Chain A
């Protein structure tokens, strides 16, 4: 392993090399400190009732746990980031499998889990060909394993659910982990997580203030057209602002590129949200699980990022390359 690779994977001395990483960490940290005071002040002055207060406090506790779990691994090193994304993928897949009933097909589920583990190894090793090859291989192996029980009833269903599971939580979500192979991965991932989370919040706030026309009432009754457009504008501005620091010195720092990336994040983020709403409506469940108090399942929180991850990854990869200057096959050699 070269010293540069070791440093990227495990070294945290460069954690705050990029100003965006430092500023966002400080801002988010202080928000987490200030938020409970704000809630208590709102309750004390009678602006929110007791029920609202307890709901906000529950959500606050969840954020107090989730935020360090996202930020910590990113700051610590690429290896921790990849392991973190692997755990996130496995937990999201678990929720999906339990909600769709796919978990009863133990063999198919085992293939998806193994493929996610192998994908994470491909990320750690910086082995792009394996990372890419795992999609058709996994599809093929699921199709084969589903035959072995010699029970054709429900074959299409178990294969399709397994393939969708791997594509969404193995492949799509995995692009976040693969991004950690870039020297500049910290500010890029922070930009993605921050803009996707704020995109949700922008849509919520603008929708509350201006929203009239429903966006897709059958899929998600609370979303409005105004919220969607407001989020598109605000997220694009946010990405253009932060992005110029994240991608400084590359072609992507140009306003045209950043505007496109911002729109990509906002649109794919909102569609990811609607995708999970559609899945939940189809299944007839309210939340995917009860993992995070106040939020529902992990998937209810991370749904928006699933489609954003490959979108942003390939946008960056097309114009400047992801980890193009980094050593490859770190563990497998060659």
Chain B
């Protein structure tokens, strides 16, 4: 017989506001239900308003852990990236989001935590400790992340380069990293716009890469970031071709 494993919630005993911001947060029945409702709505919206076209869906791993990375040009990007995922992954997949945007006020962080299942990354102080926690969670649970290695939205639609933080999560592990290219989201919602326009969005998903042999140190992280940036840009549609 298998031994009983009684594992209390990792965020047990945290007050609500701290829970939302905690990297250890685990969804219960209520938040999972809200997330399911939210993502179904998002999927419908993407299909109708942006006529979302997805290619390479089969590249997404069936089981956690994995990380989806993409170029970042609009607030719509995370919603687009989560669209092709099956509902079974719903409470296993976390959006790694900027703490100073999504977790500053209690109302916004309740939305980010409850609906988007987002985990905060504080850009000014995302030290090795936070990255270590994210890496540990990725491997132990296991879970999956959606993240944008550029660190922030591009202001002009051009890539601003991948940061090596991504490498700190996956170096020396077999976790597959799925490159994705988002096309059209910048035109649909530019940084200064408040509401999205009904522009077509395309999502190209590439073959996953894992970095078992890349050393878990500075050079390795940079190498991983460069590899993934190249893989993502390769997926860009050739204009005028």
A contact set with B: CB distance below 8 Å: 94, 97-101, 103-104, 106, 109-110, 113, 153-154, 156-157, 282-287, 289-290
Selected from B8, B14, B29, the residue in CB contact (under 8 A) with A99 is B8
Q: Does B183 contact A (CB under 8 A)?
A: no
**Assembly CA distance A101 to B26 (angstroms):** 10
**Which residues of chain A come closer than 8 Å to B240, judged between CB atoms?**
none
**Assembly CA distance A318 to B9 (angstroms):** 41
**Assembly CA distance A97 to B28 (angstroms):** 9
**Which residues of chain B come closer than 8 Å to A286, judged between CB atoms?**
13
- Whole-angstrom distance between the Cβ of B30 and the nearest chain A Cβ: 8
Interface of chain A, main secondary structure:
helix
Selected from B13, B14, B15, B28, the residue in CB contact (under 8 A) with A103 is B28
Query: B18 — nearest CB in chain A belongs to which residue?
Result: A290
Contact between chains at B14 and A290 (CB < 8 Å):
yes
Instruction: Classify chain B's interface size.
Output: 10 to 19
Q: Does B241 contact A (CB under 8 A)?
A: no
Q: Does B195 contact A (CB under 8 A)?
A: no
Interface of chain B, main secondary structure:
loop
**Which residues of chain A come closer than 8 Å to B77, judged between CB atoms?**
none
- Whole-angstrom distance between the Cβ of B114 and the nearest chain A Cβ: 15
Query: A99 — nearest CB in chain B belongs to which residue?
Result: B8
**Which residues of chain B come closer than 8 Å to A94, judged between CB atoms?**
28
Contact between chains at B12 and A103 (CB < 8 Å):
no
Q: Does B5 contact A (CB under 8 A)?
A: yes
Q: Given that A101-B6, A101-B8, A283-B6 are contacting pairs, would A106 and B91 also be in contact in the complex, using a CB cutoff of 8 Å? A: yes
Contact between chains at A98 and B5 (CB < 8 Å):
no
**Which residues of chain A come closer than 8 Å to B26, judged between CB atoms?**
103-104
Q: Does B2 contact A (CB under 8 A)?
A: yes
B contact set with A: CB distance below 8 Å: 1-2, 4-9, 12-15, 26, 28-29, 32, 91
Contact between chains at B13 and A287 (CB < 8 Å):
yes
**Which residues of chain A come closer than 8 Å to B28, judged between CB atoms?**
94, 97-98, 103, 109
Selected from A100, A106, A154, the residue in CB contact (under 8 A) with B29 is A106
Q: Given that A101-B5, A101-B7, A157-B4 are contacting pairs, would A285 and B29 also be in contact in the complex, using a CB cutoff of 8 Å? A: no
**Which residues of chain B come closer than 8 Å to A284, judged between CB atoms?**
8
**Assembly CA distance A157 to B5 (angstroms):** 8
Contact between chains at B9 and A101 (CB < 8 Å):
yes
**Assembly CA distance A290 to B9 (angstroms):** 13
Q: Given that A97-B28, A109-B29 are contacting pairs, would A154 and B13 also be in contact in the complex, using a CB cutoff of 8 Å? A: no
**Which residues of chain A come closer than 8 Å to B4, judged between CB atoms?**
157
**Assembly CA distance A106 to B12 (angstroms):** 17
- Whole-angstrom distance between the Cβ of A158 and the nearest chain B Cβ: 10
- 4 new A-B pairs (CB below 8 Å) besides A101-B8, A109-B28? A98-B12, A99-B12, A100-B8, A157-B5
**Which residues of chain A come closer than 8 Å to B8, judged between CB atoms?**
98-101, 283-285
Nearest 9 CB-CB pairings of A with B: A101-B7, A98-B9, A290-B13, A103-B28, A99-B8, A109-B29, A157-B4, A153-B2, A290-B15
- Whole-angstrom distance between the Cβ of A223 and the nearest chain B Cβ: 23
**Assembly CA distance A285 to B6 (angstroms):** 11
